[in-house]
Amino acid sequence: MTRRRAIGKPTIYRIRVEGRLDTNWSDWFNGLVIAPQADDETVLTGPVADQAALHGLLAKIRDLGLPLLSVERIEAGSGQSGVAGR
């Protein structure tokens, strides 16, 4: 089941990048919520339609020259995120 979902359905992802990105980049990143962190990092969180969309996002991050720190999938109901809890 997990496998099927990873390929087809929207999933919540949390992407950490180095550098403080302004929140006005949200549209650029397909509506992901942009949260600058204290330690010169930015976290982008939100639903990603499928794997192709995820790779598209990663390419945009690459193209802006933002070093990628981590990419996590947040399981629905895992309680890790308010967004994912719905």
Partner 1 sequence: MSTELLRTKLFIPRPRPVAQRVPRPRLVERLNAGLGCKLTLISAPAGFGKTTLLSEWISSTDPPGRVAWVSLDRGDNDPTRFWLYVIAALQTVRPGLGGAALAMLQSPRPPPIELVLTGLINEIATARTDWIALVLDDLHAITNPQINDALGFLLGNLPPQSGPGEQAQGIHLIASGRADPPWSLARLRARGEMNELRADDLRFTYQEAAAFLNDAMKLGLSPDDVAVLEERTEGWVVGLQMAALSMQGRHDVSGLVEAFTGSHRFILDYLVEEVLDQQPPTIREFLLKTSILESLSGSLCNAVADRDDSRTVLVQLDRANLFLVRLDDERRWYRYHHLFADLLRNRLEQALAEEVPALHRRASAWYEDQRLIAKAIDHAFATNDMERAARLVERGAIEAIFQCEHSTLLRWLETLPAQAIHTRPWLCVYLAWSRYWIGPRDQVGHWLQAAERALAIAPSPNALGITKAERRQIAGNICALRAHQAHHDEDLPRVLQMAQHAIELLPKGDSVCGSSMLVLGEAHWGLGDLESAARALSETKQIALNVGNLSLAVVATCRLAHKSVKQSRLHEAFETCQEALRLATHPSGRQLFSAGHAKVRMSQLLYEWNSLTKANRHLGEGMEECARWGPVDGVVESHVSLVRLQLAQGNTRSALDTLKQAEQLAQGQSIDPWISAWLDDCRVRLWLATGRLDAAIQWAASDGPRFDGPLSYHRDLDHVNLARVLCAQGAQDPSGPYLTQALDLLDRLLQATELAGWTHDAIKISVLKALALHAHGDTENALFTLRNALSLAEPGGYVRTFVDEGAPMAPLLSRILARPRDLSGKARPEGRPAVRRNIAADYVPNLLTILAAETTLEAAIPQLHPAPLIESLTERELEVLRLLSTSLSTAEIANQLYIAVSTLRTHTKSIYGKLDVHSRREATARAQEWPLL
Residue in 10, 20, 31, 69 binding partner 1, rule: CB under 8 A: 20
Q: Is 42 in the site for partner 1 (CB under 8 A)?
A: yes
Q: Which one of residues 33, 54, 66, 83 is an interface residue with partner 1 (CB under 8 A)?
A: 66
Report whether 73 contacts 4 (CB < 8 A). Answer: no
The 3-state DSSP class for residue 47 equals strand
Query: Residue 65 interacts with partner 1 (CB under 8 A)?
Result: yes
Residues near 75 by Cβ (< 8 Å), separated by ≥ 6? 84
Q: Which residues are near partner 1 by CB under 8 A?
A: 19-22, 24-25, 27-28, 40, 42, 59, 62-66
